[in-house]
Amino acid sequence: MPTQSEGQVLRTVALSKIVVREGFNPRSDAEQAEISRLAKSIAEHGLIHPLVVCPDGDGFRLIDGERRYRACGEAAVTEVPVIVRHADQETEALDVALVSNMERIDLTPVDEAKAFGRLLERGLTRKGIAERCGVSQRLVSERLALLTLDEGLYPKVADGTIPPGAIRPLVELSKIHPGLPARAVAEIAAVQTGEYSQEPYSWADLAREPLQVAIADPEQLPADVYATGVSYPLERFTLTEKAGKDLAKWAQLEGREAGELNVRFGGEDLAAAEKLGAAHRGNDGWSAVIVGQDVADQLVCDQVKALLKRARELAKRQRENSSQAAGEPAGGSEAAAVDEEALKQERRREREQAQEARRKAAAYNAQLGGQCLVHLSRLKLDAGVVRVLSAFDIGSELDKIAMRGARYGLPGWVAQQERKNATPKPVYLDRAEAEAKAREFLAAAKTAPELAGRQVALLAMARYADEGAIAQSSRSFYTLSPGRQLPWSIEALEDLDAIASERLPAHVLERGRKEREQEAARRRQGRETTAWYEGELALLEGMSAQQRQAVLTEATERLEDYDPRHWRLRQRIEQLDAATEGSDDPTQVEDGGETA
């Protein structure tokens, strides 16, 4: 006999009378292996836990128990026990299936999110979903937020690779651009598996600075997302017809090729994009992106317009200066004021000089790279080499070190591209390519001398290579410098210079020698000043007030403006002078005598 309790009826029905609606089950992992295991158990012991169904025409629709239902079919069971429930027209029993699965802890956060989303589509509010399913409204909102993420991230959320605490910052990123959450997850996964060598980002970093993590590698951003302060080739943008004409005029005035122009978005561009709702800043105050290709295109058109305006103003000033130098008043004769041909010739000469300087720099870098590979890539581990390797943070700055030097000249690092006039044009690696090449270069080392030598070779290239080989906008602007944690860090550059001087031909190091000598002199002077300062500071207490003032005067000459040591020295002298005045005050008489 069927039994009835609280609107539920327990009965036995034919399995063929039950239908499964496609996509109804909140679960998304009906694995065949689990179904086969259940089928064997049902064939031997029968179906112990009834299916939950609701009336549907002449038969029934399955609400809960899809794996058991499929296992019964595999076990050739013809009749099964069921609990018949009447479905709510509003939710069509989806809430029942959801609660049943949640009670068995069968659902992943993604399964719950999809089920809540379907209930939302059926007209329930977030509060209504929470009440129907017996969960908090906050949980419902958090799960629904998952649906804003790219579906490619769902498996990582389901298996726990993406922790619950990362969901909120990922959702924040998805509001900026749908592709940013995946970029942030990829950045964290890459550093954790050792793909990159910089300080790894963590899920805690994502919670604190989501945008900073997402744009850590600007070259991997979605095509319509642009990080501020990063150089982009002009070919990535579509110019209006007027902007294209302005660009051609600018190139003519500057004596350059339009294709050489690189674009950077700065503070003014960011402010303009914010007015359009297309700019987003990070919590750290400096991470920022501009989203939208149409906005970026317009900003570039504005930049081209501004470039042309400045170029025309400069050309006008040059003409006026030429007129004045010739004894003519500003805006004099028409022939002098509009000497466009002379201006073009001057621009052409400047361009030819710049090209020649680049050619010489490229030739020097190629020679330097060959010599570094031959003479530095295998070194004996002496004290100088150990000091150099320990002073520079090669691991976290490998990309910067490779960009500053090795990419300009190590053999095999520079490609050659043929220009329209059939002359070769060197093509240099970008940041990601340079870092990957450096990792490959270091990985090829098999012995301790090779490990040490290849690192020193990279450092030497970063120290001596000439960045004049490329346009200023494409340079690294990185200066090789040691950390300050070790006692010998301050001498590490001198150690590197000594190693290079011993092993590389003198003519290879000639370029920049004067600047390095001046730099070394400044470091020596700095060490001497530090020694003098510390010595005088230790002797101040035994000096007279006059002697201390003499020390302060000398400190003013030795120390640079705003050096904090000058302030500390002055403060210490004032303290000692005040203590001396208090102990030797001549107006005080001992033993209760009268005041003089």
Catalytic residues, which ones? 66
Helix (H) or strand (E) holding 116: helix 109-121
Looking at residue 279, what DSSP letter applies? Answer: E
- Alpha helices for 507-583 (secondary structure H): 513-539, 545-558, 564-583
Nearest residue to 282 (alpha-carbon basis) of 191, 374, 216? 216
What is the C-alpha separation between 261 and 259, in angstroms, rounded? 5
Distance CA 71, CA 80 (A): 11
Please state the length of the chain. 596
DSSP-based three-state secondary structure for 108: coil
| CA-closest candidate to residue 247, choices 293, 318, 297, 319 | 297
Identity at 481, one-letter amino acid code:
S
Q: Is 119 exposed, middle or buried (0-12, 13-18, 19+ CB in 10 A)?
A: buried
Contact 162, 156 (CB under 8 A): yes
Residue 202 CA to residue 572 CA, distance in Å, equals 45
**What is the rounded CA–CA span in Å between residue 586 and residue 596?**
8
Q: In sequence order, what DSSP letters do the residues of 509-531 get, joined into one string?
A: G-TTHHHHHHHHHHHHHHHHHHH
Beta bridge partners, 84, equal 9, 53
- Decide: helix, strand or coil at residue 336: helix
DSSP state of 475: S
Three-state secondary-structure class, residue 405: helix
Q: What are phi and psi of 279, to 5 degrees?
A: -115, 145
C-alpha span between 588 and 567 (Å, rounded)? 32
Q: Is 246 helix (H, G, I), strand (E, B) or coil?
A: helix
Name the residue among 241, 244, 186 with its Cα closest to residue 215. Answer: 186
